[in-house]
A and B are shown apart, each in its own frame.
Chain A
Amino acid sequence: MTQLPQSTERKMGLVIDLDTCVGCHACVISCKGWNTENYGAPLSDQDAYGANPSGTFLNRVHSYEVTPAEGHAQLIHFPKSCLHCEDAPCVTVCPTGASYKRVEDGIVLVNESDCIGCGLCAWSCPYGARELDVAEGVMKKCTLCVDRIYNDNLPEVDRIPSCVRTCPAGARHFGDLGDPNSDVSKLVAEREGMDLMPEMGTKPVNKYLPPRPKDQIEDQIDILAPLLAPVAEEPKGFLGWLDKTLEKL
């Protein structure tokens, strides 16, 4: 059913720390690895070893340069996957009921046996979170690793999304953003977590933590400057003669 639930019991989602992300793309690879061989159709590649490789990914890392009015430019790595929006436009546009939002945890999923591959859900998503798999002809998207997080066959430490488990920098966090006392909700409150494209009215569950302000590099140089000042102001001896001779030329 493609009508959105009035509310969900929990709001499971990700918190992504833009201050900590080092842009290593490990989350991209682990996501592809897990999701190509588990839930639903595999994530196919076309011309993988040829001149024009392309493929289906559920998570991609962009990099942006931010230049403030004063001070230095900053490079910010920016992982992007489905934000499991509360008011998900991709769900309501679906003509077959294949796209749905779960009442129990708020995860947005695609029932691949009902998907006709019309692509309208991808058109309605402002974040580019959905990609139509060329080989299977069905829509693929982040499942929040629904086949890991409730999987009793895995050790408890692994019952989190693959991208979160893999991140070597600890830039990705997983939890219930509907519970104000959860670790992720506290983190969002403390770091002023933000929504992407709030003007679209999608009410994303996933939050992004903005980069922390950087130290002023100029001040640090001032501390060391006296130690680095040249000791000999006027060259003497051979160097002094060379200097004077070259000046005359």
Chain B
Amino acid sequence: MHPAPSVIIFTTCSGLGFGLLFFLGLGQPEVTGFVAFVFYLIAYALAVGGLLASTFHLGHPERAWKAFSQWRSSWLSREGICAVAALLVMGLYALGAVFAGSHWTVIGWIGALLSLATVFTTSMIYTQLKTIPRWNMNLTPAMFLSFSLAGGALLAGAEALAPWLLAIAGAVQLAYWAKGDGAFARSGTTLGTATGLGGRGAVRAFEPPHTGTNYLLREFVHVVGRKHAQKLRVISFGLAFVLPLLLILIPVSGVAIKHIFALLAVLSHLTGVVVSRWLFFAQAEHVVGLYYGKR
């Protein structure tokens, strides 16, 4: 799949933003006034910024409001509804925390649940696609949710939970890569089943339909950059999980140094997740590539 910057920014930032909103909704950290304002500003900047980035790849962004109508069948529609609901409910909760200095617990819980539901619905947009075996796995929602919770805990400064959640997310990432590498072969789809000619012998793409490229090849067949996949996996894993874990577990004295280390941990995690998301798209192979003798 073509790793479009808009979807990489969207899934990374909004995942992190809704992760932070989840913890804020649960009252972690229990902040009020100006400190609360800063926390919510960061969460909304990430969540809303990510959602806006996702509209950049639309052919007609001005019609995006129509996407709220098909929640009965479409995960993309459900995601839009969950995102708006989460932002509204958490906005109400934020008003209480920032201006009234009080935590409306039930509203916070509902907002936290909706934030997590948004991340889940995002992951299901990819998971539902049988045409991309590497995404069509239970580990895809597990990865999106565990990343969001780990990043959210890191941003929320949840010192007790963050190391555990980072470790879990790291383990899910490794499992996702391990299982994903064999997903296409396990799906059973080959050029033989694609053409229905597999029973007659070995099928080979002899001539493409045209000499130039097309929308399908640009969107679904992304071969460039895959050769560095293993190196990028190491870089991504190190930045997203190993380095942040070290930074928050190293005992340091002084509030300032602690905050600097926490900031570095967040930035490192964010960069690592961006690389992981790039791989998520670049390594995903769509079955339509088979028709072109490509993957």
Contact = CB atoms under 8 A, between A and B. Distances in A.
Contacts of B73: 2-4, 91-94
Interface stretch (A54-62, A152-160, A180-188, A216-224): A54-62
A201 B286 CA distance: 16
Nearest to B59: A117
Interface residues of B, number: 58
Interface string A118-156: 111011111110011010111100000000000000000
A35 B291 CA distance: 24
A117 B216 CA distance: 14
A54 B74 contact: no
B185 interface: no
Interface stretch (B103-111, B138-146, B207-215): B207-215
Interface string A201-237: 1000000101100000000000000000000000000
B76 A28 contact: no
Q: Which of B68, B70, B75, B200 has the most CB of A within 10 A?
A: B70
B70 A96 contact: yes
A123 B131 contact: yes
Interface size class of A (residues with CB under 8 A): 35 or more
Interface string A100-116: 00000000000000111
A199 interface: yes
Given A53-B212, A80-B291, A64 B205 contact: yes
A233 to B, nearest CB: 41
B74 A94 contact: yes
B197 interface: yes
A195 B194 CA distance: 9
Given A62-B205, A89-B130, A194-B196, A96 B125 contact: no
Interface in B177-223: 187-189, 191, 193-197, 200-210, 212-216, 219-220
B291 A128 contact: yes
B74 A2 contact: yes
B61 A116 contact: yes
A64 B287 contact: no
A52 B217 CA distance: 14
Contacts of B63: 96, 114-116
Interface stretch (A6-14, A66-74, A168-176): A66-74
B187 A54 contact: no
A226 to B, nearest CB: 32
A74 B76 CA distance: 44
Interface in B37-95: 57-61, 63-64, 66-70, 72-77, 80
B128 interface: yes
Nearest to B126: A123
Contacts of A210: 196-197, 200
A138 B60 contact: yes
B263 interface: no
B13 interface: no
Q: Which of A92, A118, A199 has the most CB of B within 10 A?
A: A118
Contact of B216 (A52, A73, A128): A128
Contact of A60 (B68, B189, B201, B209): B209
Given A56-B215, A67-B201, A96-B67, A120 B76 contact: yes
Given A64-B195, A123-B132, A197-B189, A132 B70 contact: no
B131 A67 contact: no
B171 interface: no
B196 to A, nearest CB: 4
B288 interface: yes
Given A118-B76, A199-B187, A123 B197 contact: no
Given A89-B130, A123-B286, A138-B59, A116 B125 contact: no
Interface of B: 1, 57-61, 63-64, 66-70, 72-77, 80, 125, 128-132, 187-189, 191, 193-197, 200-210, 212-216, 219-220, 286-288, 291-292
Interface of A: 1-4, 18, 25, 28, 52-57, 60-69, 73-76, 78, 80, 89, 91-98, 114-120, 122-128, 131-132, 134, 136-139, 194-201, 208, 210-211
Given A116-B66, A137-B59, 19 more contacts: A57-B214, A60-B210, A61-B209, A62-B207, A65-B205, A69-B201, A93-B74, A95-B70, A117-B58, A119-B57, A119-B59, A123-B129, A124-B131, A126-B189, A132-B59, A134-B215, A199-B189, A200-B131, A211-B200
